[in-house]
């Protein structure tokens, strides 16, 4: 049986399409308007509202909360000041990624964590004798993402302390008479915020934010627009760009944080006293250079794209619909060397882009590969160039 988020009374009334899909057993909008591209441009040009409530949410609290998380998370939470958040991952003991999320530190001994899948049993099994409380608070909070260049000004109209927030900073404030946590985070690669709202205050907060957005061109956006923005931003997606180690059949479906491009998280791995899950395996991978590939960005040659479609008698398609599936990469001799896992035509960059796994000797920006793509019911091979992530990175995101 499906569930609805605390914002559903408002989001369902705004849906012009009635198109919904399941996310963590909740209904979530595919798109509200007939064109998801209009919602996407709201993110990039004004602001959009996204209901992130179906995310799983966990609270870690107590005297040993920091110690517990330091032994589980691949990124060191001891460096996280109160009132700050950080992107993080957690791995198995072989150094393969289980999942990723955002960790918020609301007090010295109190943390909140987002996750795409259920993780309560996994975390609880690791607690041992540590004095840490671990709670699934998924139903206790609704989460409203406000994303786009006007999001700061919009929230400044309804909440104090938000306009001064640094990137990945937190504010304990109130909106519409409801006490909330606002984090300067998001999944669009743009300036943006996420509002953690007690479940019973969701409608009051939505109404306050919606009313403040009048005249700003603010619209709600669904999953399609979110996927468009996250591909441009180089943000990875579970079950598209990586699989959870817990559910993978073979190591071909598993990946390490280093292979996903997060080696920067382990600069102190040789000197730290922190024995987190997977540390020894990750340290060996870095020392011995045993990564199998690297997740990078790709930009497809528009000249090749137009030429091969023209030769087939077709108008070269510029379809922005995100594709989250495998499209294979080849070298000049047409030997398969990797694959793209997320693709789209970027409206902002005006070219086809992708997130892709490439061999280590092709990871440098500017390296060339060939992308396999069907044209008129046969495969053609398009020139593509490795590019640094994120592919779209406006200064306002972190300014």
**Hey, where are the domains in the chain?**
8-54+139-221, 56-127+256-290, 294-396
Tally the C-alpha atoms within 13 A of residue 255's C-alpha that lie toward its C-beta: 24
Confidence band for 2, pLDDT divided at 50, 70 and 90: confident
- Predicted local confidence at residue 273, as pLDDT: 87
pTM of this prediction? Answer: 0.97
**Is the CB of residue 256 less than 8 Å from the CB of residue 96?**
yes
| C-alpha–C-alpha distance, residues 55 and 52, integer Å | 6
- Predicted local confidence at residue 1, as pLDDT: 72
First and final C-alpha spacing in the chain = 43
What six digits make up the tokens of 345?
A: 């035509």
What six digits make up the tokens of 122?
A: 């996994």
DSSP assignment string, 141-192: EEEEEEESTTHHHHHHTT-SSSTTPPTTBEEEEEETTEEEEEES--SSSSSE
- 168-213 pLDDT per residue, tens: 999 999 999 999 999 999 999 999 999 999 999 999 999 999 999 9
| C-alpha–C-alpha distance, residues 110 and 58, integer Å | 11
**Is the CB of residue 115 less than 8 Å from the CB of residue 56?**
yes
| C-alpha–C-alpha distance, residues 317 and 320, integer Å | 9
Topology of domain 294-396, CATH: Elongation Factor Tu (Ef-tu); domain 3 (2.40.30)
- 301-337 pLDDT per residue, tens: 999 999 999 999 999 999 999 999 999 999 999 999 9
* Among the four given CATH numbers 3.30.1360.120, 3.30.1280.10, 3.30.1180.10, 3.40.50.300, the one describing domain 8-54+139-221: 3.30.1360.120
Statement: 56-127+256-290 belongs to CATH 3.30.70.1400: yes
- Predicted local confidence at residue 110, as pLDDT: 98
| C-alpha–C-alpha distance, residues 70 and 131, integer Å | 14
**Alpha helices, DSSP H, located in the chain:** 8-14, 36-45, 65-72, 120-125, 151-156, 202-212, 223-232, 279-288, 302-311
Mean residue pLDDT of the chain comes to 97
Tally the C-alpha atoms within 13 A of residue 8's C-alpha that lie toward its C-beta: 13
* Cross-strand bridge partners of residue 336: 330
What percent of the chain is predicted at pLDDT more than 70?
100
Tell whether the torsion through CA atoms of 399, 266, 115 and 59 is positive or negative.
negative
Give me the mean pLDDT over the 140-147 stretch.
98
Output helix, strand, coil percentages for the chain, rounded to the nearest 5. 25, 35, 45
Confidence band for 367, pLDDT divided at 50, 70 and 90: very high
Q: Is the pLDDT of residue 103 over 90?
A: yes
**Is the CB of residue 259 less than 8 Å from the CB of residue 293?**
yes
Whether 8-54+139-221 and 56-127+256-290 share one fold: the answer is: no
**For residue 7, which of 137, 201, 153 has the smallest C-alpha distance?**
201
Give me the mean pLDDT over the 48-58 stretch.
98
- 251-266 pLDDT per residue, tens: 999 999 999 999 999 9
């Amino acid at each position: 049986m499906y569930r609805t988020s605390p914002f559903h009374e408002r989001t369902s009334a705004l849906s012009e399409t009635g198109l919904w899909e399941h996310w963590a057993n909740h209904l979530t909008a595919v798109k509200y308007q007939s064109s998801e591209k209009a919602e996407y441009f709201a993110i990039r040009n004004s602001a959009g509202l996204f209901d992130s409530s179906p995310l799983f949410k966990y609270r870690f609290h107590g005297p040993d909360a920091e110690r517990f998380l330091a032994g589980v998370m691949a990124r060191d939470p001891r460096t996280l000041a109160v009132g700050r958040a950080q992107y993080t991952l957690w791995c198995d003991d072989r150094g393969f990624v289980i999942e990723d999320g955002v960790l918020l530190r609301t007090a010295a001994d109190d943390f909140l964590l987002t996750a795409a899948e259920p993780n309560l049993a996994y975390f609880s099994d690791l607690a041992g004798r540590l004095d840490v409380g671990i709670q699934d608070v998924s139903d206790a909070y609704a989460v409203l993402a406000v994303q786009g260049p006007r999001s700061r000004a919009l929230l400044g109209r309804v909440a104090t302390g938000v306009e001064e927030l640094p990137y990945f900073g937190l504010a304990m404030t109130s909106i519409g008479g409801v006490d909330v946590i606002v984090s300067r985070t998001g999944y669009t690669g743009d300036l943006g915020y996420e509002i953690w709202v007690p479940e019973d205050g969701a409608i009051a907060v939505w109404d306050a934010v919606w009313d403040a957005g009048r005249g700003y061109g603010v619209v709600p956006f669904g999953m399609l627009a979110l996927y468009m923005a996250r591909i441009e931003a180089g943000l990875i997606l579970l079950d598209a760009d990586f699989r959870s180690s817990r559910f993978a059949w073979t190591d071909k479906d598993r990946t390490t944080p280093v292979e996903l491009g997060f080696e920067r998280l382990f600069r102190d791995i040789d000197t730290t006293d922190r024995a987190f899950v997977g540390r020894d395996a990750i340290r060996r991978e870095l020392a011995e250079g045993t990564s199998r590939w690297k997740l990078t960005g790709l930009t497809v040659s528009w000249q090749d794209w137009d030429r091969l479609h023209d030769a087939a008698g077709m108008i070269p398609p510029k379809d922005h619909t995100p594709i989250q599936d495998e499209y294979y990469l080849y070298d000049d001799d047409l030997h398969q060397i990797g694959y793209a896992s997320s693709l789209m035509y970027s409206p902002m960059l005006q070219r086809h882009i992708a997130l892709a796994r490439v061999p280590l000797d092709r990871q440098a920006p500017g390296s060339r590969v060939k992308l396999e793509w069907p044209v008129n019911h046969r495969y053609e091979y398009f020139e593509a160039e490795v590019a640094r992530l994120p592919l779209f990175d406006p200064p306002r995101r972190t300014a």
